[in-house]
Amino acid sequence: MNPRRYGLAPAGLSFGLVLLSSCPSHFARADEFTKEDLARWQQEYMTVVDQGDRLFHGGLGNPNTVSCDQCHPNAANTHPETYPKFQKQLGKVAVLGEMINWCIMNPLEGEVLALDDPNMIALQAYILHERRGVALVPGRH
Amino acid sequence: MSMNRRRFLKAGGTLLAAGTLPISIVNASFGRSAHESFSFAYISDSHITHIKGNEFVRNWDRGLIRAISECNLLTPRPDFIIYGGDLAQLGTPEEIDHALDLMGGLRGKVHYVMGEHDYYLDLGEYWRKQLGPDHYSFDHKGVHFVVLNSILTYDTWTHGPWETPMARMKAMARLDNPNGSPFMVGAAQREWLRRDLDRVNRNTPVVVISHSPLQKIFKGWNFWTEDAEEIQALLKRFKTVTVLYGHVHQIQYNQIGNISFHAVMATAWPWPYPASYAQAESHLPKLTIEMNRADPFFERDATGWQMINLQTGNVDMHYLLADNRNRSVVFDRKLKRPLDARYRADADRIPPQVHF
Ligand SMILES: [Fe+2]
Ligand SMILES: [Fe+2]
């Protein structure tokens, strides 16, 4: 092991401390949050995941009744970890929401959602939640 | 004198009196190939979906229509066609009637299998009214065929506190339902199967047809049959057994002891391999070389139908794929298991066969 590497860590630490002490003290407190905050945020998140789960399983109200889960049980094979990626048929690099809209338009024969539509956010929350823990591989096919 | 020879003479005596002598018994007694060569076609999982009035989901209609027209063009003609289950999406008379209207365009005798989507609205009543019993057997050119209803489940679930029969249907129709219930053949049908097989010579090739796999792959999506081991045990004494199943909407094959397993594809849509669900473990047979990942921009991609040859008593499976090169998975007599004719070593796989 290279002893000079050891020397770097305390040097970096002291540099950090210098930076911190030079900031006004209320900045340090602004980012503080409690276990209660964490629980509340998690609950907000899971509420949206559950809403996405319902939309994904037949809750979109598209007239032909086809639902996302018919091709993607547990949102499998949606591969949110690979976006943005080149979609040959769209002829460009696309985000997950654009592919969701493709599915809504084609097999579901429904109305597309704005990318910031709460339902679009909920669908993505559910899809990503079912894929949690998988490493990001943007661009992969 | 061998046991088989004695059995043959005994069976032959009674059968001769009736004026027929199945080829299987004649050939088996001399230890040769047990039957004539023939082929049959297999169509499955069309999930015909009623919207309202006379509207049905176009995409699923097109899949079945294309399978029917391609099967009508097959030469040599298949001796018969198996329909592997999930004709309907929610088991309504409208869906079953419309699907059977389409199936009316298919040339040849069809043997039907019950799928869960045909069953859980009225427990199969309308289906049976149109198509007859949901489990039966028949002999064809020396091969014994058995059709099972393998999508039953625990009575407590089936007869649970459902608000309506449609609520039960929708609960079972949702593949990833965490409150679903595992498929099974059940004790009554297992006893029927035991008796049915009792009169079959062990050298007669047996083909068992079910909707669910009769092996345990992934419980979360019911790629699973709860009493699979009990059924496998009933099939153990036969020299050549093949299980053919639908439900999984993908290429799968396996060998467990004397039994070869093959899935048939769906005409409606493909399903992901269970391993692509990151939150659970599956047991996809290691033998299986997966079908290509579906390109959603081709709506028939990763769907298909099959032509099956029974030349050797084992199944040679020829997949007719809508948007990929066709594949064949043929029983290898040296390895004693199904083997893909083209894709073998990992290096022979093409990029779309990598699932993740
Ligand atoms: Fe199906
Ligand atoms: Fe099924």
Per-residue pLDDT, B18: 30
Cα angle B318, B243, B85; round to 5: 80
Closest of B49, B48, B68, B86 to residue B212, by C-alpha: B86
**Chain B residues with beta carbon closer than 8 angstroms to that of A133:** 278-279
In a domain, A1, yes or no: no
| Cα(A141)–Cα(B151) distance, integer angstroms | 35
B255 and B287 in contact (C-beta within 8 Å)? yes
User: CATH number of the domain that B268 lies in?
Assistant: 3.60.21.10
Residue B200 burial (10 A CB sphere; 0-12, 13-18, 19+) = middle
Closest of B303, B293, B280 to residue B221, by C-alpha: B280
In a domain, A8, yes or no: no
In a domain, B355, yes or no: no
In a domain, A89, yes or no: yes
In a domain, A30, yes or no: no
ipTM of the complex: 0.87
Ligand positioned closest to the Cα atom of B264? 1
Could you give the C-alpha distances from B50 to B41, B47, B281, in angstroms and in order? Answer: 26, 10, 34
**Chain A residues with beta carbon closer than 8 angstroms to that of B49:** 64-66
**Chain B residues with beta carbon closer than 8 angstroms to that of A76:** 272, 274, 276-277
Would you call A77 and B176 a contact, using CB atoms and an 8 Å cutoff?
no
Residues, Cβ < 5 Å to ion ligand 1: B 45, 86
pTM value is 0.87
Residuewise pLDDT in 10s, chain B (356 residues): 333 333 333 333 333 333 332 233 323 323 345 568 899 999 999 999 999 999 999 999 999 999 999 999 998 899 999 999 999 999 999 999 999 999 999 999 999 999 999 999 999 999 999 999 999 999 999 999 999 999 999 999 999 999 999 999 999 999 999 999 999 999 999 999 999 999 999 999 999 999 999 999 999 999 999 999 999 999 999 999 999 999 999 999 999 999 999 999 999 999 999 999 999 988 889 899 999 999 888 889 999 999 999 988 899 999 999 889 999 999 999 999 999 999 988 888 899 999 99
- Sheet containing B143-147: give its strands across: B136-140, B143-147, B206-210, B241-245, B259-263, B253-256
| Cα(B356)–Cα(B293) distance, integer angstroms | 10
Per-residue pLDDT, B188: 98
Can you read off the two tokens belonging to residue A14? 């002291």
Closest of B90, B99, B91 to residue B68, by C-alpha: B99
| Cα(B324)–Cα(B291) distance, integer angstroms | 9
B221 and B261 in contact (C-beta within 8 Å)? no
Would you call A64 and B51 a contact, using CB atoms and an 8 Å cutoff?
yes
Residuewise pLDDT in 10s, chain A (141 residues): 444 444 444 444 444 444 444 455 555 566 789 999 999 999 999 999 999 999 999 999 999 999 999 999 999 999 999 999 999 888 999 999 999 999 999 999 999 999 999 999 999 999 999 999 999 999 999
| Cα(B107)–Cα(B121) distance, integer angstroms | 29
Is residue B82 within a helix (H) or strand (E), and if so which, with residue range?
strand B81-83
In a domain, A70, yes or no: yes
In a domain, B301, yes or no: no
Looking at the 3D structure of chain A, how many domains does it have? 1
User: CATH number of the domain that A85 lies in?
Assistant: 1.10.760.10
Query: B282: CA distance to ligand 1 center in Å?
Result: 19
Ligand positioned closest to the Cα atom of B44? 1
What range defines the domain where residue A119 resides? Answer: 35-130
Angle between helices A118-130 and A96-105 (to 10 degrees): 110
Residue where the block lists tokens 């979360």: B220
In a domain, A119, yes or no: yes
**Chain A residues with beta carbon closer than 8 angstroms to that of B270:** 71
Closest of B55, B62, B103 to residue B269, by C-alpha: B62
Assess B271–A contact: CB distance below 8 Å, yes or no.
yes
| Cα(B290)–Cα(B252) distance, integer angstroms | 7
**Beta strand residue intervals within B103-218, DSSP E:** 110-112, 136-140, 143-147, 206-210
In a domain, B252, yes or no: yes
Q: Report the 10 Å Cβ neighbour count for B204.
A: 22
- The β-bridge partners of B318 are B307, B328
In a domain, A64, yes or no: yes
Per-residue pLDDT, B312: 80
A87 and B39 in contact (C-beta within 8 Å)? no
Looking at the 3D structure of chain B, how many domains does it have? 1
Facing A73 at nearest CB: one of B271, B296, B297: B271
Per-residue pLDDT, B25: 30
In a domain, A97, yes or no: yes
Q: Report the 10 Å Cβ neighbour count for B104.
A: 9
Q: Calculate the CA B356 to chain-centre distance.
A: 26
What range defines the domain where residue B77 resides? Answer: 5-291+307-340
Assess B40–A contact: CB distance below 8 Å, yes or no.
no
Closest of B72, B70, B64, B73 to residue B100, by C-alpha: B64
Per-residue pLDDT, B35: 66
Cα angle B61, B64, B65; round to 5: 80
Residue where the block lists tokens 């579901």: A108
In a domain, B354, yes or no: no
Per-residue pLDDT, A90: 85
Residue B139 phi, psi dihedral angles, 5° rounding: -110, 140
Closest of B267, B318, B340 to residue B39, by C-alpha: B318
Residue where the block lists tokens 């699923």: B60
Helices (H) and strands (E) in chain B, counts: 10, 15
In a domain, B296, yes or no: no
Residue B113 burial (10 A CB sphere; 0-12, 13-18, 19+) = buried
Residue B155 phi, psi dihedral angles, 5° rounding: -55, -35
Closest of B31, B336, B36 to residue B203, by C-alpha: B31
A77 and B293 in contact (C-beta within 8 Å)? yes
Per-residue pLDDT, B131: 98
